[in-house]
Chain A
Amino acid sequence: MIVANSLRATNEDAYTPIIEQVDDEFTILPDESGVFERAKYAIDYENIPLDIPGERTLSDYYKTQAYHGAPPYIPHPISNDRTIGEGTCLQCHQNGGYVAIYDAYAPVTPHPEKVNCRQCHVGKETNSLFKESTYPGLKAPKTGTKFTVTAPPVIPHQLQLHENCLACHAGPAAPKEIRVTHPERVNCRQCHVVNNQEVVPVPDFTRKTEY
């Protein structure tokens, strides 16, 4: 049986109080869940001032990853190691903002609902290696992936766990090369489509000759 119900709780309340039978088994679309989301208390992206000396660069960001798409390691000391992360990390990384002790801006996580931060993000105790590695890594795509001079750049990375575009592409912690000029346009994927060939290269369209 089809259950028609509101997709999710919103700030809109009907005027007649009726007890609702909500079958809330699927409340999000994983592939799309974050597209229109903004962190609850995040600064007003549209009116963000610029702090040029404090900017992160794309290469700063890539240095925190073992390969393109890998979870970044935690580049700062961790006050409490007996925690999964959760609220401790989210204090700074849910909404971002200036952190005086590092003289830097906290990057915003695109997936604040995944609270076991430390299962993927680890600290760094040393720079030395146990043994050298020949692992070649996976090169990050170049910026400026446009098909014409005026075309919007495509999304050259996977969206899994990165559904919230503004988390990484807006705000003072966003690497300057990939910071969006128009954060007020929230339907990002109206113009920017995924062209990520990391998993399967997509050949050009060909017609089938037989139907």
Chain B
Amino acid sequence: MYKQTEDRRSFLKKMAILSAVTTATAMFPGILFAEEQTKNLPVGDLEWKKAPCRFCGVGCGVKVGIENGKAVAVKGDPNSTVNKGLCCVKGYHAVISMYGKDRLTKPLVKKNGKYVETSMKEALDLVASKLKETREQHGNDSVSIYGSGQWTIPDGYVASKFFKGCLSTNNVEANARLCMAGAVGGFLTTFGIDEPMGCYEDIDHADVFVLWGNNMAEMHPVLFSRLLDQKYKRKAVIIDFATRTTRTSVAANKSILFKPQTDLAVANAICHEILRNGWENKEFVSKYCNLSKGKTNIGYGLEDKFKFKEEASAINLDEFKKFLEDYTPEKVEKISGVSAKDIKYMASLYGDPNKKVTSFWCMGMNQHTRATWINNLVYNIHLLTGKISTPGNSPFSLTGQPSACGTVREVGTLTNRLPYGVVMNPKHREKAAKIWNVPVSNIPPKPTYHTVEMFRALDRGDIKFMWIQVTNPMVTLPNVNRYTDAAKKEGRFIVVSDIYPTPTTDIADVILPSAMWVEREGLFGNSERRTQYFEQMVNPPGECMSDTWQLIEVARRLGFQEQFPYKEETHIEEIYNEYRQFHNNKKHNMAPLEVLKEEAGMQWPYVDGKPTQWRFNAKYDPACTKEGFDFYGKPDGKAIIWQRPYEAPPEVPTEEFPFWLNTGRVLEHWHTGSMTRRIPVLNRAVPHAYVELNPVDAKRLGISDGDMVLLTSKRGKLKMPALINGRGLPPVGQVFTPFFDENMLVNKLTLDAYDPISKQPDYKKCAVRVEKA
């Protein structure tokens, strides 16, 4: 790896001139491996097999090392264009998550308040008979399934086919509603078609990165490393636009803090500045954009059975400019706390015709009671400047789960969706019915409950049976107390498929042990439209069974053999090939399985043997039917610039509850920590949750680092230790706490208000009282 050149004296001479001369001679880039670092390492006889990482939505390609039938090691797959051989600490230790001591290996059935081990056959019989009985007694819409963005593509596909196609209910939802629905709302309203137009290669071309409420250094570390590479090598500029100071702020060229919810106002102010200075791309706007306005004062969904219907009407550019007069940088400075100077600075970056700008966001914008609006507003900036669908110019919504895109958004495991289109559209229903081999009358034309409303329906008793797979809603639902109580009510039957005991398995009547990740065969789809395949590499423990196969077994018990005829050995391939028929068009064609088995994933639309990196641009996207840009999700090929105002959040700090509470993740733990906390190295790094306080508040309240703090909201109380001057620094008047810790359930405090358009709740803003405990 390294070599020693020449004699030491001449070498030292070269050292002396090194700072002046940076020629490549006498330099050995990067690699300086001391033998001492590796000499004690065990040498394994490992077989390496490729897979996407189990954890976040970045979708790193990994190689899993298999030895004696166990997955023992992970390394980054150098062939993956996503991560180019690098992982984060979670990825490197991902295999350990399969071997926790308390792994569920046998089905458990609750009998007289106690869990009794049973066989898989009996457990599935019970689930099937309960499902049948509940439908017969209470109707089709009394049963439901709740999955997640960790569902593999086949899991989600069979769930949708089974419930929508066979059981005639649209009670199909997934936790991506709590996570990516806002992004979907934004894509559908602005572009008429879901998922990012760009890809990760945008990072290699952009001059400026604006991170909208996205602590990328912790949440998408591998991508952030690609940003840092560009920062150091190409002098790319990173702007961290956030409500709290984090590692990302420290690493960025500039950190700009704003008050919660005021991203709406700042985005409008940026548009105001762009138009005031004439920085808009006039040709792009006139050729490829329409302008619209929608309803205002749209509510927050706090009450049961809340309904919202958008009413959109066209506007012209002058009307839009008039609307933006309320959003001058000086006016917005007062709302947002962001100086007019910083607003003008951000506008100048977006407005500079010689700079390529990529915006990244994730939960900060998507977990927002105006999630659709803020997504629309950031698209406005990119559309006004024409900085979209070209390398380096990209508004990019990242995802947090490995298959939030691949399964929930593409297969459409949401109440209103089908694998192609929506349940409301008769043509889409016909297409689904044909491929599913069911009568079209089976698929109900009306959506039923989105996630929050689905759990409210469980509380009310409208839903009696719920099957929860690969997710932990009793930790992740906002205002979780209500829903935990709901699930425990008499007459509710809850089935939970998972790999470890969690607060969600605690409320189950039947617990089905699942096979996870590379214990089964499957496919994930990441943030950049990349579909990735993984084979089964090891045997699942005990009676663990994949979620796909659990669903098939139950469907067959209910008499749907014809719809689920798959062979056990080849079912994943059969299901994927069936599913591909839904997307058999230039706008969404998926790569064939043979290709996915060979390659480190492929991006759709996959047309004529090639993936598409930038959509809507005729130069790159074969689905475009006209020159230049074609936003083909809309009938006239034009994207919409939306007039959306700033509206306050439903709950703001008061005298009684004077602090903003923000929740989120940490680098070491993923989602509710049910996997990462069973990885010793990660648990030791961050053993429990904490509440971050600003030192000024801490001093005023007499709280020192590590002291127990009592947080109280209108919905609940929680004690947790304080973290002062740790990895995150909330501004005065704000506190932050990670949500991974089931022993300190912060969602007892959060508010179940949601975005009326996308139905996505806001976990980033509610009001709490902070006291020394």
Listed in ascending order, the chain A residues whose CB lies under 8 Å from chain B are: 1-8, 10-12, 14-18, 20, 25-26, 28-33, 35-36, 41, 43-44, 46-54, 57-58, 98, 143-144, 146-152, 154, 172, 176-187, 189-195, 197, 202-205, 207-208, 211
Chain B positions within 8 Å of A54 at CB level: 8
Shortest beta-carbon distance, A160 to chain B, in Å? 11
**B414 close to chain A: CB less than 8 A:** no
CB < 8 Å: which of B44, B250, B681, B733 contacts A147? B681
A35, A50, A57, A154 pick with most chain B CB within 10 angstroms:
A50
On whether A148 and B72 interact (CB within 8 A), knowing A187-B217, A191-B89, A193-B89, the answer reads yes
Whether the Cβ atoms of A147 and B15 lie closer than 8 Å is no
CB < 8 Å: which of B4, B18, B27, B337 contacts A4? B337
Complex Cα spacing A92 to B587, Å:
61
Chain A positions within 8 Å of B338 at CB level: 4
Whether the Cβ atoms of A190 and B229 lie closer than 8 Å is no
CB < 8 Å: which of B95, B247, B503 contacts A32? B247
Shortest beta-carbon distance, A84 to chain B, in Å? 25
On whether A46 and B695 interact (CB within 8 A), knowing A51-B12, A148-B74, A204-B680, the answer reads no
Whether the Cβ atoms of B501 and A207 lie closer than 8 Å is yes
Whether the Cβ atoms of B41 and A3 lie closer than 8 Å is no
**B86 close to chain A: CB less than 8 A:** yes
**How many residues of B are counted as interface, with CB atoms below 8 angstroms from the partner's CB atoms?**
107
Complex Cα spacing A47 to B233, Å:
13
Whether the Cβ atoms of A10 and B253 lie closer than 8 Å is yes
CB < 8 Å: which of B26, B73, B680, B734 contacts A2? B734
CB < 8 Å: which of A53, A151, A207 contacts B93? A151
Chain B 705-737 against A: per-residue CB contact (8 Å), 1 yes, 0 no?
000000000000000000001111101111000
A149, A178, A185 pick with most chain B CB within 10 angstroms:
A149
Chain B 24-67 against A: per-residue CB contact (8 Å), 1 yes, 0 no?
10111111111011001110101000000000000000000100
Whether the Cβ atoms of B695 and A194 lie closer than 8 Å is no
On whether A197 and B684 interact (CB within 8 A), knowing A185-B86, A205-B677, the answer reads yes
Listed in ascending order, the chain B residues whose CB lies under 8 Å from chain A are: 2, 4, 8, 11-12, 14-16, 18-19, 22, 24, 26-34, 36-37, 40-42, 44, 46, 65, 72-75, 86-89, 92-93, 95-96, 102, 217, 221-222, 224-225, 228-229, 232, 237, 239-240, 245, 247, 249-251, 253-259, 336-342, 344-345, 348, 484, 501, 503, 667-668, 673, 677-687, 694-696, 725-729, 731-734, 742-743, 745
Q: Identify the closest chain A residue to B726 (Cβ).
A: A31
Chain A positions within 8 Å of B680 at CB level: 147, 204
- For the complex of A and B, the 6 pairs showing the least CB-CB separation, nearest first, are A4-B337, A14-B345, A7-B255, A193-B685, A190-B221, A4-B257
Complex Cα spacing A50 to B30, Å:
11
On whether A193 and B30 interact (CB within 8 A), knowing A4-B257, A26-B729, A149-B72, the answer reads no
Whether the Cβ atoms of B16 and A98 lie closer than 8 Å is yes
Chain B positions within 8 Å of A190 at CB level: 88-89, 217, 221-222, 224-225, 667
Chain A positions within 8 Å of B732 at CB level: 1-3
CB < 8 Å: which of B22, B40, B245 contacts A47? B22
Complex Cα spacing A167 to B679, Å:
29
On whether A149 and B685 interact (CB within 8 A), knowing A29-B725, A143-B36, A177-B37, the answer reads no
Complex Cα spacing A8 to B247, Å:
13
Q: Identify the closest chain A residue to B677 (Cβ).
A: A205
Whether the Cβ atoms of A187 and B228 lie closer than 8 Å is yes
Shortest beta-carbon distance, A71 to chain B, in Å? 22
Number of contacts between A and B (CB, 8 Å)?
Answer: 254
Complex Cα spacing A143 to B41, Å:
10
Complex Cα spacing A25 to B34, Å:
43
Q: Identify the closest chain A residue to B7 (Cβ).
A: A53
What would 5 more interface pairs be, CB under 8 Å, given A15-B348, A33-B250?
Answer: A15-B345, A47-B29, A143-B37, A150-B65, A187-B221
CB < 8 Å: which of A181, A182, A193 contacts B682? A193
Complex Cα spacing A12 to B239, Å:
10
Shortest beta-carbon distance, A140 to chain B, in Å? 14
A144, A151, A152 pick with most chain B CB within 10 angstroms:
A151
Whether the Cβ atoms of B341 and A16 lie closer than 8 Å is yes
Chain B positions within 8 Å of A180 at CB level: 32
Whether the Cβ atoms of A149 and B41 lie closer than 8 Å is yes
Whether the Cβ atoms of B250 and A35 lie closer than 8 Å is yes
Whether the Cβ atoms of A186 and B4 lie closer than 8 Å is no
Whether the Cβ atoms of A150 and B73 lie closer than 8 Å is yes
Whether the Cβ atoms of B12 and A98 lie closer than 8 Å is yes
Whether the Cβ atoms of A30 and B725 lie closer than 8 Å is yes
Whether the Cβ atoms of B743 and A12 lie closer than 8 Å is no
Chain A positions within 8 Å of B229 at CB level: 184
Shortest beta-carbon distance, A136 to chain B, in Å? 25
Chain B positions within 8 Å of A11 at CB level: 253
Q: Identify the closest chain B residue to A55 (Cβ).
A: B34
Chain A positions within 8 Å of B217 at CB level: 187, 190
Whether the Cβ atoms of A189 and B667 lie closer than 8 Å is yes
CB < 8 Å: which of B37, B42, B96, B342 contacts A14? B342
Shortest beta-carbon distance, B539 to chain A, in Å? 19
Whether the Cβ atoms of A15 and B344 lie closer than 8 Å is yes
Complex Cα spacing A84 to B268, Å:
53
Whether the Cβ atoms of B254 and A181 lie closer than 8 Å is no
Chain A positions within 8 Å of B40 at CB level: 143-144
